[in-house]
Structure formats: structure tokens, C-alpha cells
Structure 1
Amino acid sequence: MAAVTSTSPEHVARPVLVVDFGAQYAQLIARRVREAKVYSEIVPHTWSVEKMLAKDPAAIILSGGPSSVYAAGAPFVDPALFEAGVPVLGICYGFQAMAKALGGDVAQTGQREYGGTEVEVCAAGVLLAGTPENQTTWMSHGDSVHRAPDGFEVLATSAGSPVAAFEDSARRLFGVQWHPEVKHSAHGQAVLEKFLYEGAGLAPDWTPGNVIADQVDAIRAQVGDARVICGLSGGVDSSVAAALVQKAVGDQLTCVFVDHGLLRQGEVEQVERDFVAATGVRLVVLDEKERFLTALAGHTDPETKRKIIGREFIRAFEDAARRVVEDAGESGGEVKYLVQGTLYPDVVESGGGEGAANIKSHHNVGGLPDDLQFDLVEPLRTLFKDEVRAVGRELGVPEVIVARQPFPGPGLGIRIIGEVTAERLEILRAADAIARDELTRAGLDDDIWQCPVVLLADVRSVGVQGDGRTYGHPIVLRPVSSEDAMTADWTRLPYDVLQVISTRITNEVRDVNRVVLDVTSKPPATIEWE
């Protein structure tokens, strides 16, 4: 079987393109558009107008960004974009770049506006209809629009922004200086929905049911009558991907659970008990602990570990594919497709989009080997995590799986800082089980997105245990709250719960004498340590 180019079914909806000018909120804009039940995708500002229009966008949103429109090398907007007949909304830097491209005046006022800012609505127009005359918005800018382009109506002003919002409704061009995607903008979502529904004339019809119908059709068109295997981890992503593919092709699908030895306590049992019992899917369980530990031996670099895990997953799936063919005998054919639960944040963080920074290679994106022997089926590739959960519920995936806290495909292998060994895995597995047990006991599972437990294997700290000096490992607790993993904040867990977790871990887990709490948001830190 020759290696092939990775492919995945594409959503058939016309996208709202979010043009990223380097904003920390570009992903949030895309999320807010989707919350309005309209499909969106993020593209880099380096794309030409022709390339953007080739995607047949239903509308375009220009994001904020850190630059000044007058700085050398600052991103600019080709005026041709505004002549294409596509509705456009400019936000913050995108608003200023839009004004400048269309002949308006942008300058520094000497009065910066950061954080909560009051704006006065002087004309409601389409964009601000139904919102108060005075409202709190969230701003972050030094430059301001002083004069709107010809043909535009000024909708709002603020102390530091002579023109804080404008629109040319005839040409369907709109802009605001503030960030409507941020919850601190009191009427931000209403402004976005005014643009989408009335300014751009879009319908709120991008729903879980439509996603399922579109993807089932796309999967059937891609797969035909070929056999398919799915790498099932028991987590939300792979489980929903498997359920979606099973709905599309039924018995053509075989799920493969690779026990790579990097799992938490009870993972295998959960897959067999919950997912298989609920769906009746055909499941093959492979014990590959030795394969992975041998391949990881001696390696400490995070990217190297991720790529090794990704490579060995594929090798295991290739072995499973041969087994599926042998079991089917003459009635079956070769396994041509591999299903993966790749999500949109995986693609973005792995540098999968043009202009995207490579933050880290996700094992199922940047970690795939060059000689991949399967075509990929990735029905969730354009979805955020909460959207995946909604699709899973619509498909009838058990709530115990749909609501499960995320767990990375590389498992505990990327939660050990240093070389991965069987001994270190046992230490981390025990500490992780205690943390999960106490969080559940305290009723906090719904309050956190996930709580990675990290072993600093290459770090030793002095402690006192049993009246004697110890030189043990620190364990890190990383509880975070998030909507989609693109941004996150650390969860303020009750001190008494943290105390119980710390006490139990240092009492019950050998070679651990210190428990610490990670209180860093994302950005600047990622959720996982590696």
C-alpha cells in the first residue's frame, strides 16, 4: 500500500473567514461566530484577496492585532477586498486598517484606551441597533480613527476614539474599535450577531445536527466501501469521531485501542465498559507497552517524544489493519483509512494552517510519520472541543464519555518531564489517580476543564519524611478552566481540597516529597507542560 497524502472531509458550509492580524483573540472571534450558529474559519493576513475569495466566504472579519497601521512592515488590507461584494467587519486593528485602506484618517491621539471603556452611540445603524446609547466595551489600542472613510456613517465615539464604530450598510462594510468577542464588552455578542444576521444576511443554521449530516455524507463519499480503522483512546475526541464514522459506514469500521502503557488507571476498562457497551462497535485491544517504552527510552526532548509516540501509534495501527484483514478473510478488503479525533486547536497549535505558529506538534498532526500508509478520516478537524461534545450528545455517545475531561493522545508520556520509564509512569499514575479521586469526591469535576498532573522526573527536592531526609520528585497540579483549550486560566480550587491531595500524594506515592500548584494562564503557558 503506497503512502498517500492526508485528506479529510471538508464542511460544505460557506465560511465566515476570520483574518488573523496576530491577535490574541482571533480564535475567540471564530468561537463567538460559531456560538451564533454560523460556521467560521481562521486564515492568516498574508493570504491574498484572491485566495480568500477562492474559499467563497459568506463574510469576512478582520481581527485585532498588536501593530500600528503606520509602523514599518505593519499588515495592511488590500482595498480590493472591499470591492468584492463580501460583507466585512473590522475589529480593533482590523477596523483601523479598514479605515486607512478606504481613505479614512487614523492617528495617535495620545490617549490610549485599555480595558473597560465607555462608548456613546450616536447612530444605531445596523450594527448597534437595539444596544444602549451608553455601553461598556473592552478596548486595547493606541491609534484611533479620526475620520471615517467617505460614505460611512459614524455610529459611536469614546473619549479616546473620535470614531469608535462606523458602517456603510449599502456596501455591507462595518467596523468597531472595541473587541465585541470579549465577554467584558457588555453587548459584544449582540453586535457580532447584528453583523452576521442583518449585515451579512446569514442564517443561524450551523448546528450539531447539520454537522453530523454534512460529515456523514462526506465520510461516505471519501470512504466508499473500503474498510476503516479508528484509533480509539476512550477520550471525547476519538469516541465522537468513531461514533460519527460508524453512523456513516457501519460495520466497515473497526476501532483499535492501543494500550501504550502511558494511560491512567482504569482507562482500558472504561473504553470496554462505556463506549463499546453503548455503541456495539467492533473493538481490537493491542498491548503495546513494550513497543512504546523501548522507542521512548533515552529521549527527553518533548517534541521528540511526541513524534515517537505518533510514529509508534501508526505502526501499531498498521499491525491492527493486517489483523483486521486476516480476520475478515476473503470477505474483506484492505484497510485504507484511519480515523482520528483531530480537532481545530490541534491543527492550529501544530502550525497546520498557513501563517500559524508551530506551538507544539500534536501526535496526530505534526507527529505523523512521513511514510503514513493510510488516508486519514478526520471528521472533527474543524471543530472546537465544546462543539465536539455537542455533536457527541446528538449522536447518543454516553455522557460519561462526552463530559470526560480531556486527556492527550500521548498520555502520561508528555506529563513526565524527562525520560519516560516504567517506574516513573507508576509514580505519576498513582499521583494522578489520587488527584482525580479527590476532585471527584469534592464535586469539582464540572468546575474544571482538566487537571493535568505532572511529574518533574529530572528535578529532585529535599524533604523530610519519617524523621529522615529525602530527595524526591515534585508533582505539579495544573487545574485549568477553558472553553476550547485555545485559551485557559488556572482554576481556583479550594485550599482544603488541595491540602488533601497534597497530603495523600506525599503519603501514598513513593519518591514524591513535594506537591506544587501551577497558577499560569494560557497564554503565556500551554495547558500541558510538554
Structure 2
Amino acid sequence: MTTSTMNSSSHETVLILDFGSQYSHSIARRLRECQVHSTVLPFDRPLEQIKSIQPKGIILSGGPGSVYENDAPHTCKEIFQLGIPVLGICYGLQEIAYQLGGQVARGTKWEYGHATCKIVEQSDLFRDVPETFSVWMSHGDLVTQLPPLFIPIAETDNCSFAAIYAKPHIYGLQFHPEVTHTEYGLQILKNFVVHICHCRCDWTMEDFIQQCIASIRQQVGSAKVIGAVSGGVDSTVAAVLTSRAIGTQFEALLVDNGLLRRDEANQVVHRLRDTCGVQLRYVDASSLFLQLLQGVVDPEEKRKIIGNTFIKVFEKEASASGASFLLQGTLYPDVIESSSHGGPSVTIKTHHNVGGLPDKMNLKLLEPLRELFKDEVRAVGKLLGIPEDSIYRHPFPGPGLAIRILGQVDQHRLEILRHADSIYIEELKSANLYRCISQAFAVLLPVKAVGVMGDTRSYEDVVALRAVETVDYMTAKWYPIPATVLEKISSRIVNEVKGVNRVVYDITSKPPATIEWE
């Protein structure tokens, strides 16, 4: 889905200009929480296009560049003369300072993580925000001199200009209010759109569904669509949404790549075909995938092999059905980690349904959820009447267990991981923790460890357990599973899974780690 899918002339819009931040669409997501419609465009959009949107406000995102470099991204300076409220975040604040006559320079240290912010001048931006609160920083440059007419309105120990303001309504924040790590971040953004931009706050997920269905019909026309479904909430919601939009023009296919969890193919067929009423065809391509993955250990190569093979299988199946479009349940975190949304962002990793596609494809992509986050997809699923078992199923990556097996993928290692993972999830559900955790899974490590089993020395595999809690999957905290539950899981795995003698628990948050290990 492009930004135009989210657009609607009946709703006021806040424009987000993207300078390549990994969090640009986190800003859009937060505005949707405020029931405000937003559009994300690349930073270099011409002034006439910006004016044609008639935005109620403009937000300048963060980005990896430095405003003083020769090739630094810059927006048109005229936006500051439009009389429209502007909020700059991180790089966006530095862009405001640079464009309007201030100075920006490299700081003495990179500031990353939590900082204590103190409000030094009250403003509409900080309504209902305490004088001191915790914020999330991620910057190496600092504003060293404010432009004329600007004043500081907040500071941290390392940053005298953590927030700045100039009349009538230009604001800048050096911290990131859009990430969940910043206390009162949502309140700050709400203050901007409600008390400064004076938005009506009348945009809802029902509006998204109506606009999305209309957009699918317009994009597809009378053509047929073949659906890439896995049974996860993303592809399930995408499939049901597309089925509602175009009916019998849509056919869902489940490609079994041999990398699914225990008994997953049967469960997916039952869930989608029998419960959700989606037309579904099952294709067993497991032998092909496993053959191509033989001897491959590099995670990016795995992803590309799986992505390319996935598309080839779909193209073959689609040719028989006469389909012109391929439906995928791509979400925004997949997009932003794989490539820039129009801005100069840095690739984190290639997702099979975004950056792993072949250069030439015989199918056009249909990605109706491309600008949503996981919790928003679940909200759409509820509105569509999809059963909660599907809506709250933990995310499962397109490359499947291949990226949860570090090192070589083969049938033996797949069976070890399937068994360990099924025990893990079974025990989480038994302890009523599954719904408390956003994503949990087991990982098979490419190392062996010495152990003692049955009074004899063993030298066998190590399984790592991962569990995180998150709202938007852009940032995540490791989940503190009680020791008694971990002990039971570990005991069951080493006793029931042949070939495993050690279990470890991953306590790394995102960032610095990603949620998946590969």
C-alpha cells in the first residue's frame, strides 16, 4: 500500500517528511493513535506537492545523516513560511536550526538510550507533561547555536537544546517522542496535533478498512489475485481484507516450504479455509526449498534463496490461474528494516517479502497492510471478525525456521527445533503467559556444549529461548518469564528433545538486537 491508500480528502492530514529514520512510520502510527490521519513522503518533495496536500501540520523525521555534510538531505526552506505548524524530531530539529540560521556540529559523544529531560519553558507542546521525564536519544550531532528568535524549552545533561521553539508554531525535539521508550511521547505528539495543529482527531481503523478495500478494487480492477498466506495474523488479515474487496477474483495459496513449525500446515489450512472462509490451495514445495538451502549458513543468503524460490513457486502456480497480482502481508517494520521509505535510511536486514524479491517479477505486488504495525493489524482483524486465535498468534517470519536455525538447515536440525519450540509455546500457554508476550520462539544455535546425561558425558546442541514484549515491533523489551516456568521448559526440552543438552534465555532488547536472531 502506498501513502495514497491511507489518504482521504474527508480527513485532515499531518504530513511527515522522511529523512531516512528507522522510526518515520512510528510517528505516523502514533498519530493514528491520536485518531489523526497522516501521510509520509520523502524529504525532497517539491513545495507545490506539499501545499497540494493542505497539511494541518508538518513533522520532519529523524535520519542517519548530518545536516552540515555536502550531500546531506534537506527539505525546501519555504515550508517554514507557509504558516503551518512544524515539528522537527532529532535530525528534523537540526534541519530547522540549519535552515533558519543556527549552527549544528558533532557532539563530544554519541548519545544513545535513555536521558532525563527537564522542561525549562512551558509551551503547548508540553501540556500535561511533568517538568522532568525520561526520553529516548539517538544522535551524534547537536545544535550548538539556536537560530534567531528561537528559545530552548527543554534540556538534558548532555543537550542544552533538547527542545526548541519559535513563534508562532515551529518546534524541535532532539529526542524521539514516537518510540515507546520516551515517557509522555504520545502526549507530546498529541499536544502537537491537537493543541498546535488543531486537528479534529476523527480518523479510525474503520476508515482504514473502507479506504483499503476501495484502494484494492481500484488497483486490481478485474484482474485475479493470488495470495501469499501463512496463517499468521498479517497474511490472514490481508487475505480476508482482499477477499472482502474482490471476492472470487482472489485465491489464497499456502506454500509449504518445509520450514514451518510442528503440524503448522494442517492448522493453517483449517484456520483459513474452514474458520475464515478464505479460498485456499495447498502447495507442498518443501523438497525444493530444503534442497536449495543445503549447505547455506549466511542469513542474508538464506533469506534471498527463500524469497526468490517463494516467488518462483507462486509465479508457477499463478500462471495456471491467470493471476496478475501477488498478495503479501508486509507490515511497516518489515519495510523500514529492509530499505528506506523514500528517505536515506540504512538497511538493517532483508525481509523475504520486501528486499528479497527478484529484480524481475511476473506478478505485481499487492500489500494492503504495508503502512501498519502489528497491533494495528490486530485491530483491523477484530473489526473484520477474524477469530482471536488467529489475531493473537505470535508472528512467524516468512523464511520460517531457517532463520531460527543458526547455521546449516537440514531435516534433522528442523525436527530438533520444531520439538523444542512446541514444548516452549505449550508451556507458555499452560502458564497463561502466551498472550502477555508479543513474540516467543526457540532458536537452535550452531554450537555444541558438554553436558552430563545418564551419568555419561554428552556433547550436544544448545537451544536459546527468546520472548519479547512490544507495541509496534520497532522497539522491544525482553520478557521476564518467571524462573519456575523457565526451569520447567528447560527440563522438558533437555529430557524430551533428543540431541539437546543445554537451554539458554536471551535477555537482549531491541535495539541493540533485532527480535529474530537472523
TM tier relative to shorter chain: 0.7 to 0.9
| Aligned equivalent of 1:522 | 510
**Do the aligned partners of residues 55 and 392 (structure 1) sit closer, same or farther apart at CA in structure 2, a change above 3 Å counting?**
farther
For the Cα contact (< 8 Å) 1:9–1:219, is it kept in 2?
no
- CA–CA distance in structure 1, aligned partners of residues 275 and 61 of structure 2: 43
The alignment partner of 2:460 has SS state of: strand
Taking the TM superposition and a 5 Å limit, the aligned residue runs for 1:25-424 are: 26-40=24-38, 47=44, 50=47, 53=50, 56=53, 58=55, 59-64=57-62, 78-104=76-102, 115-121=115-121, 123-124=122-123, 126-129=124-127, 134-136=131-133, 138=135, 140=137, 143=142, 149-150=148-149, 165-168=163-166, 170=168, 172-181=169-178, 186-323=183-320, 325=321, 334-353=322-341, 354-424=343-413
**Do the aligned partners of residues 370 and 131 (structure 1) sit closer, same or farther apart at CA in structure 2, a change above 3 Å counting?**
closer
Counterpart residue type for residue 92 of structure 2: G
Moved more, 175-184 or 88-97: 175-184
| Aligned equivalent of 2:424 | 435
| Aligned equivalent of 1:19 | 18
- String of CA shifts for 1:9-31, please: whole Å, max 9, x gaps: 73224553153465x75554343
**Do the aligned partners of residues 42 and 481 (structure 1) sit closer, same or farther apart at CA in structure 2, a change above 3 Å counting?**
farther
- CA–CA distance in structure 2, aligned partners of residues 352 and 131 of structure 1: 32
Superposed displacement of residue 429, structure 1 = 0.5
- CA–CA distance in structure 2, aligned partners of residues 7 and 75 of structure 1: 22
The alignment partner of 1:459 has SS state of: strand
Per the normalisation by structure 1, the TM-score is: 0.85
| Aligned equivalent of 2:491 | 503
The alignment partner of 2:440 has SS state of: coil
- String of CA shifts for 1:59-79, please: whole Å, max 9, x gaps: 322345688867887766653
- String of CA shifts for 1:380-420, please: whole Å, max 9, x gaps: 01111111111111111111101111011111111111221
**Do the aligned partners of residues 429 and 108 (structure 1) sit closer, same or farther apart at CA in structure 2, a change above 3 Å counting?**
closer
Counterpart residue type for residue 101 of structure 1: Q
- CA–CA distance in structure 1, aligned partners of residues 503 and 157 of structure 2: 48
Counterpart residue type for residue 119 of structure 1: I
| Aligned equivalent of 1:483 | 471
Superposed displacement of residue 197, structure 1 = 2.3
**Aligned-CA RMSD value:** 3.3
**Do the aligned partners of residues 155 and 356 (structure 1) sit closer, same or farther apart at CA in structure 2, a change above 3 Å counting?**
closer
- CA–CA distance in structure 2, aligned partners of residues 508 and 108 of structure 1: 55
Counterpart residue type for residue 115 of structure 1: A
**Do the aligned partners of residues 526 and 476 (structure 1) sit closer, same or farther apart at CA in structure 2, a change above 3 Å counting?**
same
For the Cα contact (< 8 Å) 1:118–1:136, is it kept in 2?
yes
For the Cα contact (< 8 Å) 2:18–2:62, is it kept in 1?
no
| Aligned equivalent of 2:434 | 445
- CA–CA distance in structure 1, aligned partners of residues 106 and 227 of structure 2: 55
**Do the aligned partners of residues 291 and 98 (structure 1) sit closer, same or farther apart at CA in structure 2, a change above 3 Å counting?**
same
- CA–CA distance in structure 1, aligned partners of residues 95 and 289 of structure 2: 51
- CA–CA distance in structure 2, aligned partners of residues 107 and 302 of structure 1: 37
The alignment partner of 2:6 has SS state of: coil
**Do the aligned partners of residues 281 and 143 (structure 1) sit closer, same or farther apart at CA in structure 2, a change above 3 Å counting?**
closer
For the Cα contact (< 8 Å) 2:16–2:61, is it kept in 1?
no
Counterpart residue type for residue 116 of structure 1: T
For the Cα contact (< 8 Å) 1:438–1:501, is it kept in 2?
yes
- CA–CA distance in structure 1, aligned partners of residues 214 and 70 of structure 2: 48
Superposed displacement of residue 315, structure 1 = 2.3
Superposed displacement of residue 440, structure 1 = 0.8
The alignment partner of 1:379 has SS state of: coil
Aligned residues: 508
For the Cα contact (< 8 Å) 2:15–2:58, is it kept in 1?
yes
Counterpart residue type for residue 311 of structure 1: N
Q: Provide the identity percentage.
A: 45
The alignment partner of 1:369 has SS state of: coil
Give 5+ residue unaligned stretches, structure 2: none
Counterpart residue type for residue 312 of structure 1: T
For the Cα contact (< 8 Å) 2:461–2:501, is it kept in 1?
yes
**Do the aligned partners of residues 183 and 449 (structure 1) sit closer, same or farther apart at CA in structure 2, a change above 3 Å counting?**
closer
- CA–CA distance in structure 1, aligned partners of residues 287 and 155 of structure 2: 65
- CA–CA distance in structure 2, aligned partners of residues 348 and 84 of structure 1: 30
- CA–CA distance in structure 2, aligned partners of residues 409 and 360 of structure 1: 13
- String of CA shifts for 1:265-306, please: whole Å, max 9, x gaps: 131222232232233221111111111111212212111111
- CA–CA distance in structure 2, aligned partners of residues 183 and 296 of structure 1: 38
When Rg is computed on C-alpha atoms for both structures, the one with the higher figure is: 1
- String of CA shifts for 1:198-255, please: whole Å, max 9, x gaps: 3223332332111111111111111112221101100010000001101100111111
